[in-house]
Amino acid sequence: MHFYRSTPFIYVGVDLHKRTHMAVVINCWNEKLAVIPFENKPAAFPAMVEQVVCHVGEGQTVVFGLEDVGGYGRALAAYLVENGFTVKEVNAALSNWKRKSYAMTEKHDSWDAENIAKLLLDELDKLPTSAPQDAYWILKQLVMRRYNLRDTRVALKNQLHTQLSYSYPSYGKFFVAVDGQTALAFWKQYPSPHLLDGLTLDELAEFLRKASRNVCSTRKAMMILESVQSDGDTKRKHQEYRDFLIKSHVNQIEDVQREMSDVDAQIRELMEQLGCTLNSMPGIDSVTASAIVAEIGDIARFGHADKLAKYAGLTPSQMSSAGRGKDRNQRQGNRVLNKILWGLAVRQVHLARTSEKPLNPLFRAYYEKRLSEGKKKKQVVICIMRKLVNIIYGMLKNKTEYRLAPLPERTAS
């Protein structure tokens, strides 16, 4: 379906904020018809729509343009779509460019909303249609929540490293992962070495066996006691406060890990409801799969894999003038999705340290072939990213599992 300026549309640009929104209505001749401030709450939306409809003539259709359909404007977008209106997503960079394209630059809510409406008038065909869906929106919120918890855990882990370096200078010899289940139990029970005084080897070994579910043995207990002995006396004045700090860090790390486990369970349940099969592909675990789907959303938004590739910033942009120039890799598109695909592509050609076997033999063979042809590593990885987009698109579109294709005979030999 194609729209033209002469088509009888009424264009409504909405500048979105946390508490209040501003709508500006224009017609196809770029005439401002109304300025409508309203609150960001469902109860205020019908009155705004009623004021807009007052300016709709016979045979005319209303089109709304919103910048932030996933944030402050999501409730409004969902309401408008549910009531049969067309809602277009307007990139903030576009509206900012439109605002700065005038000789006299202004910056206020009604002017911002008017520029969004003007973009609707000029670029209606090119702007994506908003189709807010709760499942994909919630998934993205859960993924973002997991990112936040992960960052919190990393910060707490680094702080725990600092505290342990005072009390246990050689702690890295017996607990490489300081936030492991057994390690956390040990730090909580014995935050400083002086608390081990009088503890026998068998008693410590029994504690470790219980904390690790019989994974750690007497050998680990002996290693701890020998390391503590070689470090010397680390007890200082006000040691009880230093011990409290370590216990406090351990308690918070455990809380964050429990919360992450709960969030992961919610993500897995929602991904099953969406019928996602991406984790059947080598290199994609449930965390990566949820991150990919959270950025893509409903795959039905993309008519074919090429559109998804463009969305991920994997299609070249032509840079030329006077017949001279070349195609360059663009730095636009969804950079979060682009980063995920880059990491996934690198994992596909990675060789295991022990067996020297690739995670995906087919992609590894392609990688080596292109390198032998003189391609740079970065160029080959980008080519693999593009191939991954085709695979991911097909898996999401058809809800099929990944099947590793056999290597060509000449390559396998």
pLDDT at 104: 67
End-to-end CA distance of the chain: 52
CA torsion sign for 187, 193, 197, 201 is: positive
Report in angstroms the alpha-carbon separations of 405 from 18, 281, 363, 366, 413.
50, 12, 10, 13, 16
DSSP code of 5? T
Report in angstroms the alpha-carbon separations of 198 from 185, 203, 318.
19, 10, 74
Joined together, the tokens standing for residue 239 give 């040691």
Asked if 30 contacts 40 with a C-beta cutoff of 8 angstroms, the reply is no
pLDDT at 411: 47
Query: Measured between alpha carbons, how far is 242 from 237 in angstroms, rounded to an integer?
Result: 10
Burial of 24 from C-beta contacts in 10 A (0-12 / 13-18 / 19+): buried
| Tens-binned pLDDT, residue by residue, of the chain (413 aa) | 444 444 689 999 999 999 999 999 999 898 999 999 999 999 999 999 999 999 998 889 999 999 877 788 999 999 999 999 999 988 877 777 777 777 666 778 889 999 999 999 988 888 888 878 889 989 999 999 999 999 999 999 999 999 999 999 999 999 989 999 999 999 999 999 999 999 999 999 999 999 999 988 899 999 999 999 999 999 999 999 999 999 999 999 999 999 999 999 999 999 999 999 999 998 899 999 999 999 998 998 888 999 999 889 898 755 444 455 455 556 668 889 999 999 999 999 998 877 788 888 999 999 999 999 999 999 999 999 999 999 999 999 999 999 876 666 554 44
Which domains, from first to last, does the chain contain? Answer: 9-132 (3.30.420.10), 137-270 (1.10.287), 278-319+327-412 (no CATH)
Q: Which H, E and C letters describe 234-256, residue by residue?
A: CCCCCHHHHHHHHHHHHHHHHHH
Asked if 167 contacts 234 with a C-beta cutoff of 8 angstroms, the reply is yes
Q: Of 110, 84, 89, 86, nearest to 99 (Cα)?
A: 110
pLDDT at 20: 95
With vertex at residue 202, the alpha carbon angle to CA 201 and CA 208, rounded to the nearest 5 degrees, is 90
**Which residues of 207-360 form beta strands (DSSP E)?**
316-321, 324-329
Joined together, the tokens standing for residue 3 give 């729209």
Q: In the Cβ-directed half-sphere of 229, how many Cα atoms lie within 13 Å?
A: 9
Query: Measured between alpha carbons, how far is 24 from 95 in angstroms, rounded to an integer?
Result: 14
pLDDT at 317: 55
Which residues, 6 or more positions from 397, have their beta carbon under 8 angstroms from its beta carbon? 299
pLDDT at 355: 75
Instruction: Name 326's bridge partners.
Output: 319
